[in-house]
Structure 1
Amino acid sequence: MKRRDFAKITTLGTIGTSILGIPYGCSMDSKKRKKPSLINNLYYRANTFHYNPSHIATDMQWMADHGTNALTMAISEVDFGTSERNIEAIVTQAHKRGIKVFFVTSRWAGVFAGAPKMPSIFAAKNPHTWSLNKKGRPYFHSSGPICSIYYPEVFDFFIEYLNKTFATWDLDGIVWDEPKAYQLDYSPKATEALGTNPVIETHEANYCEFISQLNDHIRKEHGGKTINFFAYPYLTDSFIEKASEIRHLDYYGADGRAYPNTERPETYTGKKFILGQGNVGHRYVTKAHEKGLKSMVLIENFKTTPNEYPLLEKYLNTIIAMADQFAYYYYPRSCNEPDKAMQLITSYLKKHL
């Protein structure tokens, strides 16, 4: 099957039957089903190392045909000077079809997540700004070092690159993707701010204030951009409360696997689940509405294996109707049988058109 033709052969079974031959889980009457106001497609790294306008146009048309009214790009530090035309083509083709275009500050200074998993150029050039653990060693995650928010250079870097991003492309908003705020910072500047016996709640509050100040700048200098924020679903209630108070947020939520931990297959070794004990991701949805914000959930449908597909079928209806924004990855990385995975998403999006 050709990659771009998968939607043409997708067929839905009879009512109560899935495309994998198992009963639909959590089915709802169409009149009662909640339709998200925003269906967001994470269109990561289609602009890297190749430029194929016809593929971009085909992808954008697929999104428009399946109710997707926003897409999110992962813009990294290396895209400036290398990918301007590619990104511009995506933005233009999306806007032609009424699709908003957001971006993630992808791995900027190691402070946020995104794609690809690569070290930040800023972090490589400014090791004095790295976050340190209690033993004075730098924190490293899968994308290299994490810079400390307590250094003015880090804040100034974000301001510079936010301005450059909005000046280069006609983007509709931003997505703050998984801030790396979950460990205490013992760098010299952090110690000046937190003292020698730092408290994690104070550090998390400072991280949220860092984002608030960036949002202040966006609102002041770049107008009414849509501002989205999501974080790990399993974080503490205190963090969820504090993050919901970040200024100027439009959408607030969590990302994770589209099934509960209790049904985790052996192939998945992570710990991010939108559904499950303790209401997990629902806490973000509840908190968003409590604060007068719109809610969002992002399913991590990358790196999926065939034994996860029945779980997607079982819970997709529930998750798509769970929040004001439903987000998913388009042809994400490392999937087994990727066309089948996208067929699955297609069938459920069609039911929410």
Structure 2
Amino acid sequence: MPNWLLPENIADVLPSEARKIEDLRRKMLDTFRLYGYELVMPPLLEYVDSLLAGAGQDTELRTFKVVDQLSGRLLGLRADMTTQVARIDAHLLNRDSVTRLCYAGSVLHTRPSGLHATREPLQIGAEIYGHAGLEADAEIQELALSSVALAGFTDVRLDLCHVGILRALLADDPAARRDEAQLTCFLRAKDAPGLDEFTHNYLPATRQALLALTQLYGGIDVLGRAKEALPALPGITRALAELAALAASAIGRAEVAIDLADLRGYQYESGAMFALYVPGLPNAVARGGRYDHVGEAFGRARPATGFSLDLRELARLLPTAERKHSIRAPWGNAPELREKIADLRKAGEVVIQSMPGHDNVQDEFECDRVLVLENGNWILKNLG
């Protein structure tokens, strides 16, 4: 095997693509800062006991594990940064007030999360800690929509769900509570026949409501249908009201859809969840939701909600960036030449000095001007 081959679903990022990703990263982090989010940088690896605390089985299966040669303990290479940021809030910052944190960095997956997905996503996201009200969910949803808009996408679909509906349905049925993980698989697949057979020993009301969930997807009218099809439990009533409020706040910014069986990520989610879709990508480009209980593993449960997206996947959908106009200059150490080049760079110009005997070939830059010496002065001349 040639030594330049990389593992499956792992790839280098070449100049033009890297520039798109970096431009998006800067724009999004700058936007997060305008909302008051503080940047944190969790480590790439840590003890699995901490890294996987409250993360759920899906995250554990996606996590690479290695043995630490210093301590002999098992380390994990992060597959998601959400629990790491929750640890920072709960254990290191330990604030009593509302805390807004954001992050950006590579994560590693043992397997790709979707068709053509990379196993090394560049994850960026934002989290709010300390406020249990719907205001925090609405702000995170707004920030996620703003982030996708920064990439130039205007045709966006927002899918909403709420894990509280399933939890309320299972609360009074011990048999159903034991099967929660299997039930979510049936619901996510909308496998009504399989669900019907699997739930034959449940309470009739629970069984009927679970089967109804597989059909409760579509536009905002789904919320009205859900009120008729689902029992009027306090948890369900509250969840439907929260979904209605979040849907109303997104009208005009995205096409809103409701899917009460879309429970991806439910294992550490505790409330409203959302996913953003854009044309050209079968997978969700961003996911978010409430996860109030993750901090318990670090000794301090805090209300929490947030979102994240993969910058590499998002940038792949964008057109190739236009090459930046630049200036070609000869190589030399003459003080006047060096001073002229320094002044141009201070003014924001890209100046590329030609190495003796070589041409310049770049993906990102187009030299449309040249620096030449005329009558003892260095001046710019247009090329072509």
TM-score, L = length of structure 1: 0.26
Larger Rg: 2
In terms of fraction of residues, the more strand-rich structure is: 2
